Amino acid sequence: MDYFKIPSPCYVLEKELLEHNLEILDSVQKASGAKILLALKGFAFWRSFELARKYLSGTTASGINEAMLGFEEFGGREIDKDICVFSPAYKEEEIDALLPIATHIIFNSFYQWQKFKAKIADKNLQLEKLGLKKIEVGLRVNPLYSEVQPEIYNPCIKGSRLGITPSEFKNGVEMYGLDGIDGIHFHTHCEQNADALKRTLEHFIQHFGDFVTQMQWVNFGGGHHITRKDYNLGLLNSIIIDFKSQFNDIEVFLEPGEAVGWECGFLIGEVIDIVYNGMFIAILDVSASAHMPDCLEMPYRPRVRKISQHTKEIQCDLGENAGKYSYRFGGPTCLAGDVIGDYSFDTPLQIGDRVIFEDMIHYTIVKNTTFNGIPLPSLGMIDKEDFKVLKTFNYLDYKNRNG
């Protein structure tokens, strides 16, 4: 692989690695009987969906744009794929646009369900006449238990707006009943192993078990790190199988995003300059702020390889200050804090060298901004050592975004 043939900067999806993830996810579907939906929030690289839909049961969306993308590029009812939508609050026009494409609509309150109940019932009459599957309706609940850190990613923090609490749920059932509700949804995980799901389900069943008996399905949300090497697939499968047998073979959904795009590609950039201010600082054409925002938000330090322009030698980062030559990697924006991290190597980094940031396919492209007019990285794919550019961006992407 000649990394210098790749335009810089560029996100590069490695197709075989994606397919490996999809095979793992499909093995869970087959062993447990659960359906797995791709959460577009974390992975919307739609030029790979032809592959993804061979394995996964559908997509999950947070509103109309993601649902449209799922419908157009992954497929919906007509090819027996699910398009599941959740939103903290839908506007009338959003529901109108969702009705023709969604297979599952999940509400965050009884009020929103009541508001759109008649519209969905009308649509379902039409679908029934055509012999098509009806739109299923769900409610998102808050089981008051989540192990997610930091708090910004924890949907069960005090005052959280996400999911109906057990007491509000009981009030809602007293006022409106559950007639017309097909399923219950919770999403309380982030990058977690199956043991967290096991503990969460105890709380979920304690609060909502009585209602689950009246449901067709339960959606366990995303945040299950199923494709990570140390993930306990056996435990996940047995949890799902036990849950299904406890609740009369109820349908179970999982909707991971990160686990689909996990470790299946990289972001490649170039060293534009190296300056000195008490330490060497490499200025790259990739930005923490515009291209890897979770570096600052989560925060985390991406793994790095450098590739020498002259020798083509590839070297992994040895850790902060562990190697002979140390550099702080910074982005091309004017944000003082646009710093990716400190890296060190056995040989010096040089202007013109390439730098690879590992595992940059999920929660990066979907979060990119044109802040500061910094060019958006191209999108490319490696398929069996063959690199192809799929998409490049230009000045108009920046201009159109601002007026």
Ligand X SMILES: *Cc1c(COP(=O)(O)O)cnc(C)c1O
> Which listed residue (86, 208, 220, 357) binds ligand X by CB under 6 A?
86
What does the block give as tokens for 11? Answer: 């996100």
CB of 62 to ligand X, least distance (A): 6
Residue 210 is assigned to a ligand binding site: no
Is residue 190 a contact residue for ligand X (CB under 6 A)? yes
Report the residue number, 37 or 304, with the smaller CB distance to ligand X: 37
Q: How many other CB atoms are found less than 10 A from the CB of residue 46?
A: 15
Can you list the positions of beta strands (E) in 201-289?
217-219, 251-254, 265-276, 280-284
Largest CA distance in the chain: 73
Could you give phi then psi for residue 210, rounded to 5 degrees?
Answer: -60, -30
Q: Rounded CA gap, 379 and 389, in Å?
A: 6
Helix, strand or coil for residue 162?
coil
Can you list the positions of beta strands (E) in 331-396?
339-345, 354-358, 378-383, 386-391
How many of the chain's residues bind ligand X (CB under 6 A)? 15
CB of 208 to ligand X, least distance (A): 16
CB of 86 to ligand X, least distance (A): 5
Residue 346 is assigned to a ligand binding site: no
Is residue 163 a contact residue for ligand X (CB under 6 A)? no
Is residue 120 a contact residue for ligand X (CB under 6 A)? no
List binders of ligand X among 40-59 (CB under 6 A). 41-42
> Which listed residue (14, 73, 82, 255) binds ligand X by CB under 6 A?
255
Is residue 39 a contact residue for ligand X (CB under 6 A)? yes
Is residue 317 a contact residue for ligand X (CB under 6 A)? no
Handedness of CA 26, 83, 153, 209 (dihedral sign): negative
Is residue 257 a contact residue for ligand X (CB under 6 A)? yes
> Which listed residue (258, 317, 338, 359) binds ligand X by CB under 6 A?
258
Q: Say which residues have a Cβ less than 8 Å from residue 107's Cβ, sequence separation at least 6.
A: 90, 113, 116, 137, 138, 139, 140
**Is residue 222 within 8 Å of residue 177, measured between CB atoms?**
no
Is residue 267 a contact residue for ligand X (CB under 6 A)? no
Strand partners, 104: 84, 136
> Which listed residue (187, 291, 305, 354) binds ligand X by CB under 6 A?
187
Please identify, among the stretches 24-32, 217-225, 270-278, 293-301, the one whose residues bind ligand X according to the rule CB under 6 A: 217-225
CB of 298 to ligand X, least distance (A): 12
**Is residue 10 within 8 Å of residue 380, measured between CB atoms?**
yes
Report the residue number, 299 or 348, with the smaller CB distance to ligand X: 299
Report the residue number, 256 or 375, with the smaller CB distance to ligand X: 256
Q: Rounded CA gap, 204 and 139, in Å?
A: 13
Going by their DSSP bridges, the two strands 386-391 and 378-383 should be labelled as antiparallel
- Which residue ranges are tagged as binding site for substrate? 258, 294
Footprint of ligand X (CB under 6 A) = 39, 41-42, 60, 86, 187, 190, 221-223, 255-259
